[in-house]
Amino acid sequence: MPIETTASVVAEVPDDADLLAVPYTSDLAPAQVVELHLPVGDLLSHYEAKGEAGEIVEVPVPRAGGGVGRVLFYGVGDGSPRALRKAGAALARRVKGKDTLTVVAPGGDVGAFAEAALLASYSFKIGNAGKKPVRELALAGADEGAVQRAQIVAQAVALARDLANTPSSVKNPAWLAERAAESGLPVRVWDEEQLQADGFGGIVAVGRGSASPPRLIQISYTPSEPVDRHVVLVGKGITFDSGGLSLKPTDNMKTQKTDMAGGAVVIAVLRALARLGAPVRVTGLIAAAENMPSGTAQRPSDVIKHYGGRTVEVLNTDAEGRLVLADALAYADSVLDPDAVVDIATLTGAISVALGRNVGAVYASDDVLAKQLVDAGQASDDRLWRMPLIEDYTPALESSVADLANVEAGSRFGAGSITAALFLREFAGRRPWAHLDIAGVGRSTVDEGTLSKGATGFGVRVLLEWLTRS
């Protein structure tokens, strides 16, 4: 469900606010914007406050009109965007179930603060479990534009989370195409027959085992002002990854409804670009299929032909993401004429061994593009670490019967996330290309800070930051 909390800007702090949040730093001197009639410094030292981000000291106060209100003093640490995100998320979590929180805005990046507060208010529930998030965050003295943008970005992250959290009994490739069409942007959808006819052999092969046929979804955003930059975003849209005939064990399978997280990010980003009025032309491609075992499923040892004619020996049907992405990448390169291509995919379990659950991987054929994405990741809090495309490992994907194999036959090279990236590179052409492996960061096991359990929407913020920076 979309975030139910709204963030608004108010000019002044109302005298009768029931619930008021006031920032303070390590000197325990809170912002002087409001007359509190409290020995604030003494109170904060009494509670041994240190001013760290995420720290909250709650003080009951008599209201002018009778009754008791509360002031939440919130620490802002060093005031950096990172600290403000932590503070914003902690505050929003503290006021769950309440109506309005009036916030004396912190100095610094109020957008980061508001965005984190909104993300911390997200939850995905089927039924009525848990507390409702705070209805409204009224930010006193905040920059209107920054808060507006934070709201659009947070709603985009929430959309990506919602799509990925939706059970696979509900979402199949056709459902995903309908959700893409709801963006109001021009959408083109290839059904199974058209995919077959146009030579998208990878998407067709992966989708063959399922009762729900595959789709390729194309969404276009064209800014109102003419521009020369054209970016293609490609998302992995596996609406459920059972592994196919190379079946996953239950424990690994039960998280795989979020295997379309990359595709969800692409849909959410395209939608937000339109709302932000971004000055760049972007085409989104979502390669959607359900990877299931059945009598019609592809087999280990099958050879498939990708868009553009390259052949691949499928040695493991559970390495399906690269098969659907290969088609979309080859199509983008030969038909869409982009200036840069970025794909995003929950591609390999191996990347969570390398980088864990907090930092995503970026591989790139181009140093400038890599740096832009790493910088945008740092600024947006979707942190990325650049991984190497190690040339020595390219023989891992040699096949004796086809142009390439989809996985390494033996275990000489290892490096599962790197070899997957090397596979994709074969299809990306010579244009600047980057690949985000978000298998480690696409899901959260904790309900904490800006994260809620399940899909994270990782990728929305970094891509929006990258695409809207001048």
14-43: contacts with Zn ion (CB under 5 A)? none
State how far the Cα of 103 lies from the Cα of 56, in Å rounded to an integer. Answer: 13
Single out the segment in contact with ligand BES by CB under 6 A; choices: 45-53, 155-163, 253-261, 383-391: 253-261
Which residues between 304 and 323 bind Mn ion (CB under 5 A)?
Answer: 318, 320
Find residue 22's DSSP bridge partners: 73
Strands (E), 149-302: 187-190, 215-221, 230-241, 281-291
Nearer to Zn ion, 241 or 437 (CB): 241
241 binds Mn ion (CB under 5 A): yes
460, 382 Cβ separation under 8 angstroms: yes
320 scored as a contact of ligand BES (CB under 6 A): yes
Residue 313 binds to Zn ion (criterion: CB under 5 A): no
Catalytic (active-site) positions: 248, 322
Beta strands 360-364 and 433-437: pairing type? antiparallel
* Contact (CB, 8 A) for 330 and 310: yes
Does residue number 382 form part of the binding site for ligand BES (CB under 6 A)?
Answer: no
**Residue 407 interacts with, from ligand BES, Mn ion, Zn ion, none (CB under 5-8 Å by kind):** ligand BES
Nearest to 287 by CA among 271, 307, 303: 307
From the CB of 321, what's the least distance to Zn ion, in Å? Answer: 4
Q: Considering the complex, what minimum distance in angstroms separates the CB of residue 320 from Zn ion?
A: 6
Q: Which is nearer to ligand BES, 115 or 343 (CB)?
A: 343
Among 272, 456, 446, smallest CA distance to 381 is for: 456
Q: To the nearest whole angstrom, how small is the minimum distance from the Cβ of residue 252 to ligand BES?
A: 6
- Other residues' Cβ atoms within 10 Å of the Cβ of residue 2: 11
CA distance 294 to 463: 37
* Closer residue to Mn ion in complex, CB, 283/352: 352
Do the annotations mark residue 302 as ligand-binding? no
Of 66-74, 85-93, 254-262, 375-383: span binding ligand BES (CB under 6 A):
254-262
Among 195, 203, 374, 439, binds ligand BES (CB under 6 A): 439
Number of residues located near ligand BES, criterion CB under 6 A = 17
Site string for ligand BES, 231-250 (x = CB under 6 A): ----------x---------
Q: Which of residues 211-250 bind Zn ion (CB under 5 A)?
A: 238, 241
51 token code pair: 């001013």
Give just the sign of the alpha carbon dihedral 85, 89, 92, 94: negative
For ligand BES, the nearest residue by Cβ is: 349
- The token pair at 279 is 């000055």
Q: Which residue is nearest to Mn ion (CB)?
A: 318
Residues 40-99 that bind ligand BES (CB under 6 A): none
Question: Computed over its alpha carbons, how large is the radius of gyration of the chain?
Answer: 24
Out of Mn ion, ligand BES, Zn ion, none, what residue 350 binds, judged by CB under 5 to 8 A for its kind, is ligand BES
Binds ligand BES by CB under 6 A, chosen from 88, 133, 244, 321? 321
**Which amino acid type is present at position 253?**
M
C-alpha to C-alpha distance for 285 and 340, rounded to whole angstroms: 13
Work out the angle between the directed axes of helices 261-276 and 460-468 (0-180°, nearest 10).
40
CA dist., res. 329 & res. 429, Å (int):
8
* Residue among 212, 346, 365, 372 that touches ligand BES (CB under 6 A): 346
- Sign, CA dihedral 30-32-33-37, equals positive
> What's the rounded Cα separation, in Å, for the pair 359 and 347?
14
Distance CA 344, CA 367 (A): 18
Which segment (61-69, 91-99, 217-225, 241-249) binds Mn ion by CB under 5 A?
241-249
CB closer to Mn ion, 71 vs 438: 438
392: DSSP letter: G
Q: Where would I find the beta strands (DSSP E) of 310-388?
A: 311-313, 340-345, 360-364, 384-386
Note the residues at the interface with ligand BES (CB under 6 A): 241, 255-256, 259, 316, 318-321, 346-350, 407, 416, 439
- Would you list which residues are annotated within the binding site? 236, 241, 259, 318, 320
Note the residues at the interface with Mn ion (CB under 5 A): 241, 318, 320
Note the residues at the interface with Zn ion (CB under 5 A): 238, 241, 259, 321
- Would you list which residues are annotated within the binding site for Mn(2+)? 236, 241, 259, 318, 320
